[in-house]
Structure 1
Amino acid sequence: MTEPITLTAAELASRIHAGEVSSVAVTKAHLERIGEVDKEINAFLHVDTEGALATAERVDADIAAGNPPASPLAGVPLGLKDVLTTSGQPTTCGSRTLEGWIPPYDATVTRKLAEAGVVVLGKTNMDEFAMGSSTENSAYGPTANPWDTTRVPGGSSGGSAAALAAFEAAMSIGTDTGGSIRQPGAMTGTVGVKPTYGGVSRYGLVAFSSSLDQAGPCARTVLDAALLHEIIAGHDPLDSTSLAAPVPPVAAAARSGAEGDLRGVRVGVVSELAGGEHGDGYQAGVLRSFSSAVDRLRELGAEVMEVSCPYFRYALAAYYLIAPSECSSNLARFDAMRYGLRVGDDGSASAERVMSRSREEGFGAEVKRRIIVGTYALSAGYYDAYYGSAQQVRTLVTRDFNAAYEQVDVLVSPTAPTTAFPIGERVDDPMAMYRADLCTIPANLAGIPAMSVPSGLSDDDGLPVGLQIMAPALAEDSMYRVAAAYERARDEAAGSALTEHLPQL
């Protein structure tokens, strides 16, 4: 079996740009790794060998010609979540509805990666239309967690996270609607970042919930995530919700944080997300890991205090009204009339019959469940009681964040209440599945940035745990500084980097 490349993306880029190793060689090594282990992991839905090698060859040619690299990560291989359009590769969103569809245009994130010389290896697996917390809802089979292949990698960006943990890619892109980058990061021992809403363009991101969806970086280190963040972020006139504000200097913040000094930084522990008096719903090992992480932040000089955000307890319920409502509207476009799966078109069937049969066969159970819930919540006579009330709760959650940030610079909590759970354990219990997003959803409702950084392994099952760090809108630099300082302290305490303990299949 090919020895996995365990260097960080930043380290790989440095060697490629110095001419010590070629991007083609690095890309081939990752493609070989995918060929050897992905039958077991199922992190990739499509591998673009030809396109990846062509990009790598261009990077190598530029370097040989003495030209500066297109970006700090030029030549480094990446996995792209299959919810972002790619003009030369299929985009299925993990659904039969879009099986075989090759879009006629690139998402802005896809285009920015190409302009930066990043090598896109292919498209990663996901819960269908990003609806799920385990990557079990994909029409193309579940993704396995490389730490324990009988367990889930989290979702919906489970393919992107698993590809990192299995060393199939040096970095990846996910999307986060209610925790879909951060929760897989926590469950696979990797770093996952949800930027400020509007900080990364949504053009070409197939919409699930338009007011919540956000693409972001996934990596094995905080610095790698920061470097990737700066490539994909920025204003885009093609996205009406794109922010015109400058991209925060996250790479500089990560490098500064790695010096390990958090004196003067105020850190708030969200009491409503810290397990409560009895830790109901939280795994004991997760709470112990979180407590240890908070102690480490204190040791780094941070001022730590408890902060109450009382309306967070209603965030989960509000989210599961807002997101399905927007999903009901967004997925109405998949009607078998213009593109995608078409079933029952024998020349005599009505358009309505073809639409009905195509949507019945094209959508999976979870997508249908959310469409039904959302359609009901938006229906006449129920709109104000359900969708309208949920939006009011959203405002209260945002006010809680605003009040908290008057006292502290960042907020922290566990990323997920439990470690990775067994494949199949929650598929018939939607409420248990939804509770996996308990800690991550508030940040999506408020549109603020949040990230998960590995906090080691749970002492009760040996599986990865994540520390969630949240910051005010467009204050990602504060978040990255704290994460990088914690990451260094964590590795020093363990005597080695966590990446050295990632599973080597």
Structure 2
Amino acid sequence: MTDLHRLSIRELTEGLANAKFSARELTEHYLKRIEKIDAQVNAYVTVTAEQALAQADAADALRQAGGAGVLTGVPIAHKDIFCTQGIKTTAGSKMLDNFISPYDATVVAKGKTAGLVTLGKVNMDEFAMGSTSESSYFGATKNPWALDRVPGGSSGGSAAVVAADLAPFATGTDTGGSIRQPASFCGLTGLKPTYGRVSRFGMIAYASSLDQGGPMARSAEDCAYLMNVMAGHDTKDSTSVEKDVDDYVANLNGTSLKGLRIGIPKQYFNVAGLAADVKARVEESLKKLEEMGAILVEVDLNMTEAYVPTYYLIAPAEASSNLSRYDGVRYGYRCEDPKDILDLYKRSRSEGFGAEVQRRILIGTYALSAGYYDAYYVKAQKVRRLIQQDFLKAFEQVDVIAAPSAPTTAYRIGANLSPVEMYLGDIYTIAVNLAGLPAINAPVGFDKDNLPVGLQLIGNYWSESQLLSVVHQYQQATDWHTKRAAIAEENA
């Protein structure tokens, strides 16, 4: 029973169904691994051992009574941006270090209904603002492939717990690449669904028109199991779309690679800063897909240079609005002994928010201010529509679009990239959020330092099944998704 952490989600569900092991044994196995390994990785903010064991016992009882679902008893880790009733929800910030939510996010509630066992809440960049998971109030999370490297961000904790085998899968959120980039840096599969596919109710807001929850796991098949839980309309979220949900697991072989047209944007492969190893691995993976029957088609995405400036006006503007609620009055951090109401606001916010969050609030407030609103924010919204139209034009010629997920592999911890350098690292991911499209990262090899490289496939609206299917078939023909970091091989 020492290798339960090596089993896929399908193997875990079969093992539980056939009584090869119980949900309690599986949960205890993961809790022991967390106790042994997590101190090296710093991925968990809160481990909910007592609650997890109670949920596991309830899952076992349900299974014995014949009422279990497919995933009943399978453990999961939640990004600490999803509200969890009775459990601390911090968003990686000092501002919410004392916040215990009175309710569950819809994603968490759906997980409970499916019988998933919550192992705990995992680390992230503060309020999901960052690409390294270093801005967390709880310290930097480390990349299991190399402990001196970042796991990516903002869902760095989610990526690290899966890559270190401290959870079989995890929830993440993606506002500008925060599922795909950490999945790339940690050698995982991560899906950013179409905007509106997964409920945002109970997900602490960063930029409301861009945020979207999604699954992170080792393989497309594992992600499909979690998507079956997460996806669907929610009346509590006005941006949730009322549209039939696919059975993502059943559709894993539903898209034929023969004749599948994969768009290759020439602008993406000529970006300054694209590492040679990353480019080579991505091109090798596309060659493999071509051998499997796909057709590579060159496409133009002419708005590429507008991605970063557009995103870094819209996202901070929405952040400045969303984060105005943290004022030291109702909940969250409050400064000590404020002199008056103005002092309460100023010190609570300056002491409660970290540097990157403050930077984005200031940028956003400036862009929304009276003299600059039309020149910056309104213009950025117009350019956003042009970016969307650029993609839709490309999708008239192709089924999916291929790109690297990130221009480099994982940065060193403490590399102290300038804000602009960090923002430019999002060049391949942010346009997908601006357009509301779905996209997936798949591991496709390693660079010279044995750090994972990711391929990104971007789909048209509501094509999550297609993206999962294409990656699943690629993963049947390759073994990159089965590779494990040395720390993951440690037995509990």
TM-score category (smaller protein): over 0.9
Q: How does 1:4-15 map to 2 (within 5 A)?
A: 5-15=5-15
> What residue is the counterpart of 1:312 in the other structure?
304
> What residue is the counterpart of 1:455 in the other structure?
444
> What residue is the counterpart of 1:420 in the other structure?
410
> What residue is the counterpart of 1:216 in the other structure?
214
CA distance in 2, matches of 1:267, 1:173: 28
Letter in 1 for 2:438: P
> What residue is the counterpart of 1:243 in the other structure?
241
Asked if residue 367 in structure 1 is aligned to residue 367 in structure 2, the reply is: no
> What residue is the counterpart of 1:482 in the other structure?
470
> What residue is the counterpart of 1:322 in the other structure?
314
Whether the 8 Å contact between 2:91 and 2:126 is mirrored in structure 1 is yes
> Which of the numbers 173, 176, 201 marks the counterpart of 2:199?
201
> What residue is the counterpart of 2:369 in the other structure?
379
Whether the 8 Å contact between 1:272 and 1:313 is mirrored in structure 2 is no
Asked if residue 497 in structure 1 is aligned to residue 485 in structure 2, the reply is: no
What is the TM-score of this pair, normalised by structure 1? 0.94
Partner of 1:180: helix, strand, or coil?
coil
How far does the alpha carbon of each residue in 1:76-124 deviate from its partner, in whole angstroms, 9 at most, with x for none? 1111000010012100000000112101111100100000001110000
CA distance in 2, matches of 1:487, 1:134: 27
> What residue is the counterpart of 1:128 in the other structure?
126
> What residue is the counterpart of 2:39 in the other structure?
39
> Which of the numbers 181, 201, 212 marks the counterpart of 1:183?
181
Q: How does 1:56-455 map to 2 (within 5 A)?
A: 56-67=56-67, 69-70=68-69, 72-256=70-254, 262-274=257-269, 276=270, 279-345=271-337, 349-427=339-417, 429-455=418-444
How far does the alpha carbon of each residue in 1:109-166 deviate from its partner, in whole angstroms, 9 at most, with x for none? 0100000001110000000000000000000000000000000000000000000000
Letter in 1 for 2:331: Y
CA distance in 2, matches of 1:242, 1:264: 33
Return the offset for 1:30. Answer: 0.5
How far does the alpha carbon of each residue in 1:325-371 deviate from its partner, in whole angstroms, 9 at most, with x for none? 0000000000010011111335xx21111111011100000000000
CA distance in 1, matches of 2:106, 2:482: 33
Whether the 8 Å contact between 2:145 and 2:485 is mirrored in structure 1 is no
Partner of 1:254: helix, strand, or coil?
coil
Q: Could you tell me which runs of 5 or more consecutive residues in structure 2 were left unpaired when the two chains were aligned.
A: none
Partner of 1:310: helix, strand, or coil?
coil
Whether the 8 Å contact between 2:254 and 2:466 is mirrored in structure 1 is no
Residues 480 and 469 of structure 1, relative CA distance in 2, 3 Å threshold: same
Return the offset for 1:256. Answer: 4.1
What is the TM-score of this pair, normalised by structure 2? 0.97
Whether the 8 Å contact between 1:73 and 1:118 is mirrored in structure 2 is yes
Letter in 2 for 1:265: L
Give the fraction of aligned pairs with identical amino acids, expressed as a percent. 47
The ranges of structure 1 where at least 4 consecutive aligned residues each deviate by more than 2 angstroms after the TM superposition are: 496-505
Partner of 1:392: helix, strand, or coil?
helix
Letter in 1 for 2:264: V
Return the offset for 1:304. Answer: 1.0
CA distance in 2, matches of 1:231, 1:211: 22
Residues 122 and 32 of structure 1, relative CA distance in 2, 3 Å threshold: same
CA distance in 2, matches of 1:80, 1:486: 27
Return the offset for 1:500. Answer: 8.3
CA distance in 1, matches of 2:453, 2:250: 26
Return the offset for 1:253. Answer: 2.5
CA distance in 1, matches of 2:398, 2:248: 19
RMSD after superposition = 1.6
Moved more, 406-415 or 479-488: 479-488
Partner of 1:173: helix, strand, or coil?
strand
Return the offset for 1:426. Answer: 3.0
Partner of 2:424: helix, strand, or coil?
helix
Letter in 2 for 1:490: T
How far does the alpha carbon of each residue in 1:157-188 deviate from its partner, in whole angstroms, 9 at most, with x for none? 00000000000000000000000000000000
Letter in 2 for 1:364: G
Partner of 1:253: helix, strand, or coil?
coil
CA distance in 2, matches of 1:26, 1:116: 17
Letter in 2 for 1:87: Q
CA distance in 2, matches of 1:317, 1:370: 13
CA distance in 2, matches of 1:323, 1:223: 32
How far does the alpha carbon of each residue in 1:177-205 deviate from its partner, in whole angstroms, 9 at most, with x for none? 00000000000001111000000000000
Residues 503 and 34 of structure 1, relative CA distance in 2, 3 Å threshold: closer
CA distance in 1, matches of 2:145, 2:4: 15
Moved more, 3-12 or 370-379: 3-12
Partner of 1:252: helix, strand, or coil?
coil
How far does the alpha carbon of each residue in 1:310-334 deviate from its partner, in whole angstroms, 9 at most, with x for none? 0122111100000000000000000
CA distance in 1, matches of 2:405, 2:217: 16
CA distance in 1, matches of 2:390, 2:248: 25
Total equivalences in the alignment? 490
CA distance in 1, matches of 2:341, 2:428: 43
Return the offset for 1:503. Answer: 4.3
Return the offset for 1:442. Answer: 0.8
Partner of 1:412: helix, strand, or coil?
strand
Q: Could you tell me which runs of 5 or more consecutive residues in structure 1 were left unpaired when the two chains were aligned.
A: none
Partner of 1:381: helix, strand, or coil?
coil
CA distance in 2, matches of 1:230, 1:407: 30
Whether the 8 Å contact between 2:164 and 2:485 is mirrored in structure 1 is no
Letter in 2 for 1:463: L
Whether the 8 Å contact between 1:4 and 1:167 is mirrored in structure 2 is no
